[in-house]
Structure 1
Amino acid sequence: MRKMNLKHIVSAAALAGMVTAGAVQADELHVLNWKGYGTDEAWATAAFEAKTGHKVIHDYFNSEQEMLTKLRTNPGTYDVVMINAAFTGQAIDEALIQPIDVGKISNAAGLAPEMARSELLNAEGAAYGVPWVWGVTSVAVNDKAFDAPPSSVEVMWDAAHKGKVVLRDDALEAVQFAALASGQNINDIKDLDKVRDKLASLMPQIRTFWSSENDWNQMVAAGQIDVGTYWSGSASRAKTSFNLPVTFVIPKEGAIGWLDGLSIPAGAKNAEGAHAFIDFMIAPDFYVEWDQKVGAPVSANLEAVAGLDETAFNRAVLGDPAVAARIQFQKPVSDEDREKYLKLWQELKASSQ
């Protein structure tokens, strides 16, 4: 037998490593999402990997605009992306995502029909997004500051809570919240001056503008805030995962509803794994465990919601038709309106400093 010198051994090892790396890379599944938002739960990804053999690798964004930029500048990098449905149409128009073969997603049979057929997720007879979870942006309170939960958004303007009110640093969300507070349709704001005046009168109440779930939770834990805008799923996690004294409220004026879908980017290298991952993520088994262990928004899968305890917030409260009737779901916003909202928001923040 011919002996191999050290150079040959190293070369052979390197070649073997390259082959192995190539095999692993073919089975990788790259997911783009908010950090800590369901798809990256360690117990869930471990179960998915064991079931399918696809290794899940995450990348994250901090805003919808950053998500779109990552899809534009990194074609072929991602296999699954979580998109707020109000932005799915833009992703379709820019050819950033591809049609999904819903026939490969068995758990799609349990999806709420109105969400599965939503014009926000479908175009020209093709599905570009599978509805995953939905929730609301509304008011959450520090239980220690209230004898009973408030019934109106006007609690944000109550002088008793001055300096202990927070608002998310997001122009669209702030404007839509003020539209609700001024009795307007968030998707058809007729009187922007009224919105401006409502927000301007709120500024003296504000302690700070929050940007992350962690910011909000830390301030509540420190007793620094009484009330503020928050997301339903985040409020649920605050109680479930961190045992914080937080109650989420759907006031009489209503709340801002949002729908998040899972899509497959154009040029995805692992479309097969993407379909399997989406199927796993909308499954009742995953959802019930996610909500019970961590706290989650409401599943778009009716069978998953039915699997929750009857007293669970996502079933008992958000599943109440009377509550649902007060929720206004976000629709796409034109670039022109976004620019107006951003300008208004920046002016208000500057004047409050």
Structure 2
Amino acid sequence: MIRKSALLLSAVTFLGTPAFSADADLTIFDWAGFEVDGLFTDYVAKHGQKPTFALFGDDDEAFQKVVSGFRVDGVHPCSQMVSKYRDAGLIEPWDTSKIPAFNDIYPEMLDSEIFKDDKGVWFLPSYWGVTAVAYNTETVPAEDVASLQVFVNPKYQGRISLPDSSDDVWSLAYLATGVTDWTNVTEEQYQAAADWLRKAHENVYHYWADPADQIQQMAAGAVSISWSWNDGVALLQAENFPVGFQREAKEGSATFTCGFVNMKDGPGSEEKLYDFVNSWIRADAAQPLLDEMGYGHSNQKGMESIDQATLLKAGLQEISAPTLAQVPNDPKLRERQLAEFEKIKAGF
């Protein structure tokens, strides 16, 4: 069971550089940890090896690298970043006639003019996940995480960790202050969320850069509560750590969707890029993705083959609490949030 976290730890060492040089005809810029064998079964069967992976730990970091000239064939951003890639002229539409499983993707994952318009499909959804409260069940009573206000509770000062990700911390701050739609945020709501985030910062022991970083702090006992993605929880569960995943705090939790964009004039093989994404989004890739990373797959048929007990353990069940979907929002608001988050971390 240690293998999965060891894989993630080794991958993080090489963030932003080619971590696994393999097929020189295809370079994928991806999140650390997604080099899961079961996702590329068809690709490896056809080409004899995996693509070359370059790894990143943050969406904004990845975008800045490619906009500065880092050349790759495909990138794996989350949905709120797609407009930035389009506006910068970095990507081209996918030819869906070359993607046999395209019609098996959950339709709601493409329900945006940013993802699909009269010029084509710009975003190929691959997986979805949630951001919610991970906590040590031996040191934190369940009633304490029934509300997101646990993050500002003085009882847990110095025992909290948050993602070093503007989108994720703002999803928490908006939810905690009663906002579930960040596409229509008023100035008053923005200020309330910023004020709340400053209060939460006073309790933060650590801002984690990636799930390996997060689980190290929790496993060592330094952190008791974290605003977490699925994979951090999955890694802790795999090591039999007493972790709970509270998606139904009264204020709710967040969801996100990530997927692939096709870089314009990529240096490698376009044919191999399509082989790669076809291997990723086939129905039988859903199980290894869930087993290794704890995430839900974009292929509806694949997800329908997974039993409810497994989905519940991963935190992917249907819930009755509010949800903030991290869909594309105003790019100017994102930039403002990013700048404010940096000020908050610096103590201002």
| Residue correspondence of structure 1 range 266-305 to structure 2 within 5 A | 266-268=264-266, 269-292=268-291, 294-305=292-303
Give the one of 116, 123, 130 matched to 1:122. Answer: 116
The corresponding residue for 2:242 is 245
Superposed, which structure 2 residues align to 1:196-215 within 5 Å?
196-215=194-213
Is 1:106 aligned to residue 100 of structure 2?
Answer: yes
Superposed displacement of residue 61, structure 1? 2.1
Asked whether the equivalents of residues 27 and 270 of structure 1 are also in contact (C-alpha less than 8 Å), the reply is: no
How far apart are residue 260 of structure 1 and its match?
Answer: 0.3
1:51-70, CA deviations, whole angstroms, 9 ceiling, x for partnerless residues? 34464111122322232233
Aligned letter for 2:243?
V
One-letter code aligned to 1:169? D
Residue from 15, 36, 41 that aligns with 1:41: 36
How many angstroms does 1:157 deviate by?
A: 2.3
Contact 2:245 2:315 (8 Å CA) reproduced: no
Q: Share of identical aligned residues, percent?
A: 23
Shift of residue 90, structure 1, vs aligned partner: 1.7
Match of 2:28 in 1: 31
TM-score of the superposition, structure 1-length normalised?
A: 0.82
- Partners of 1:217 and 1:26 in 2: how far apart? 31
Pairing 1:60–2:58 present: no
Which residue pairs with 2:183 in the alignment?
187
What secondary structure is seen at the aligned counterpart in 2 of 1:322? coil
Shift of 1:48: 2.4
Match of 1:318 in 2: 316
Alpha-carbon distance change, 170 to 272 in structure 1, aligned in 2, over 3 angstroms = same
Query: Structure 1, residues 63-94: CA drift from partner, whole Å, max 9, x if none?
Result: 2223223333447x322211211111221122
Residue range with higher mean Cα deviation, 129-138 or 63-72: 63-72
RMSD: 2.6
Query: How many angstroms does 1:314 deviate by?
Result: 6.0
Larger radius of gyration: 1
Check whether the contact 1:165–1:226 (CA below 8 A) recurs between aligned residues: yes
Unaligned runs of 5+ in 2: 1-21
Runs of 5+ unmatched residues, structure 1: 1-24
The question of whether the paired residues in 2 share the 8 Å contact of 1:179 and 1:189 is answered with: no
3-state DSSP of counterpart to 1:144: coil
TM-score for both structures, normalised by structure 2: 0.83
CA contact (8 A) 2:183 2:330 kept: no
Deviation at 1:204, TM superposition (A): 2.7
2:325 pairs with one of 312, 318, 329: 329
Task: Assess if the C-alpha contact under 8 Å between 1:31 and 1:79 holds in 2.
Answer: yes
Shift of the 186–308 alpha-carbon distance from structure 1 to 2, 3 Å rule, reads same
Once residues 272 and 184 of structure 2 are traced to their aligned partners in structure 1, the CA distance between those partners, rounded to angstroms, is 39
Distance in 2 between the 1:65 and 1:54 partners? 29
Q: 1:159 aligns with which of 148, 154, 164?
A: 154
Deviation at 1:134, TM superposition (A): 1.0
Question: Comparing 297-306 with 59-68, which one deviates more in the overlay?
Answer: 59-68
Q: Which amino acid aligns with 1:220?
A: M
Q: Which moved more, 1:297-306 or 1:44-53?
A: 44-53
* Structure 2 CA distance for aligned equivalents of residues 289 and 252 of structure 1: 32
* Residue-pair matches, total: 322
Cα distance between partner residues in 2 of 1:140 and 1:167:
10
In the alignment, residue 217 of structure 2 is paired with which amino acid?
A: M
Aligned partner of residue 136 in structure 1, secondary structure: strand
Rounded to whole Å, the distance in 2 between the matches of 1:321 and 1:169 is 26
For residue 344 of structure 2, the aligned residue among 338, 345, 348 is 348
1:11 is matched with none
